[in-house]
Amino acid sequence: MSILTVGTVAFDSIETPYGSVDKVIGGACTYISWAASYWYNEINLLSIIGEDFPEEEIKLLQKRGVSTEGLVRVKNQKSFYWSGKYHNDMNNRDTLITDLNVLAEFNPKLPTSYQNSSYIMLGNLTPAIQLSVLNQLINRPKLVVLDTMNYWMDTALDELHEVLKRVDVLTINDEEARQLSGERSLVKAAKRIHTFGPKYLIIKKGEHGALLFYEDQIFFAPGLPIPEVIDPTGAGDSFAGGLIGYLARTNEISFNNMKTAIIYGSTMASFCVENFSLTRLKNLTAEEIKTRLHQFRDLSSFETKELNAF
């Protein structure tokens, strides 16, 4: 039983109020794979890179249990490159450069060894590519999680709806949930989005935590206040990686287990933002992670004293 992760493996240049880094390792699939690798070690990575992507980064992933058979390297071309600058509050950013490079011709072919993957994490990409990956799977996977963004709602809404029909869990932010549903209220937005396909809707709210909607039930996962958020890049992908890694490890799909999975996802995201690029995600100890999970448990627990109101 394997996890399949699809998305970019790329370079980022990032400026935040704490500093800037140039052409560091990034990409949704990279963050997802690293975060998931702490919980599961049969991960099939599907992506594309250029000649410029360092071989040692691929070796590091392989050591974490990540198969890179589906990582295609294109000669004489460059890897996907994104450059962005965060505002003072870290909740908003401007994209400065998006160089698609090899991504422009990404038409993924699923290696035979990937075709039986059970837990599918479709990172933020063109809906057409996400759909093509689903079409290449031989068996109905146990779970399909999809990450997307407002850009695809603006430019490829029909294709996005096609993918959504086949998705179990959708992760988007609050503004995207409002845009996709046309509803201001997140409760109503969730009801509408459920009718598009996803039984589970996870609304990511950054430092404010995340909401999980399933049938008529809601779960509110807290955001752990971090002393110094250095760089939010990859936080959503680390969240997705922790989520799918935990779900594959426990191999149980239920509202209750999805709640805990979100806490595991939030935990990985909370490490990610503590430094630039994958710096923190590459060097976590089991002890550090356990301590952080305990912080999350304590963060939102309280005694329920039942008083009768006058």
Binding stretches for a second copy (CB under 8 A): 17, 37-41, 64-65, 88-90, 184-188, 205, 208-209, 211, 217-229, 246, 249-250, 256-257, 259-260, 262-263, 284-286, 289-290, 293, 297-310
Phi, psi angle pair for 216, to nearest 5°: -100, 15
Between 103 and 268, whose beta carbon lies closer to a second copy?
268
Residues 6+ apart with CB under 8 A from 305: none
Between 125 and 262, whose beta carbon lies closer to a second copy?
262
Task: Write down the residue that tokens 């695809």 correspond to.
Answer: 152
Between 259 and 282, whose beta carbon lies closer to a second copy?
259
C-alpha span between 151 and 144 (Å, rounded): 21
Residue ranges in 20-109 assigned as alpha helix (H): 28-36, 55-63
Minimum distance of a second copy from residue 127's CB (angstroms) = 27
DSSP state of 253: -
Task: Compute CA distances 97 → 14, 33, 87, 152, 234, whole Å.
Answer: 10, 24, 16, 18, 17
Minimum distance of a second copy from residue 67's CB (angstroms) = 15
C-alpha span between 148 and 171 (Å, rounded): 7
Between 22 and 215, whose beta carbon lies closer to a second copy?
215
DSSP state of 90: S
Between 16 and 277, whose beta carbon lies closer to a second copy?
16
Minimum distance of a second copy from residue 83's CB (angstroms) = 23
Minimum distance of a second copy from residue 98's CB (angstroms) = 27
Minimum distance of a second copy from residue 218's CB (angstroms) = 6
Minimum distance of a second copy from residue 268's CB (angstroms) = 10
Between 78 and 204, whose beta carbon lies closer to a second copy?
204
Q: Which amino acid is at 102?
A: V
Tell me if residue 186 falls in helix, strand or coil. helix
Minimum distance of a second copy from residue 51's CB (angstroms) = 31
C-alpha span between 127 and 305 (Å, rounded): 48
Between 104 and 226, whose beta carbon lies closer to a second copy?
226
Minimum distance of a second copy from residue 274's CB (angstroms) = 12
Q: Is 17 exposed, middle or buried (0-12, 13-18, 19+ CB in 10 A)?
A: middle
296-304 long-range contacts, Cβ below 8 Å, gap at least 24? 296/222, 296/224, 296/263, 296/266, 296/267, 296/270, 297/263, 299/222, 299/224, 300/220, 300/221, 300/222
Minimum distance of a second copy from residue 30's CB (angstroms) = 17
Between 24 and 293, whose beta carbon lies closer to a second copy?
293
Between 136 and 257, whose beta carbon lies closer to a second copy?
257
C-alpha span between 270 and 292 (Å, rounded): 9
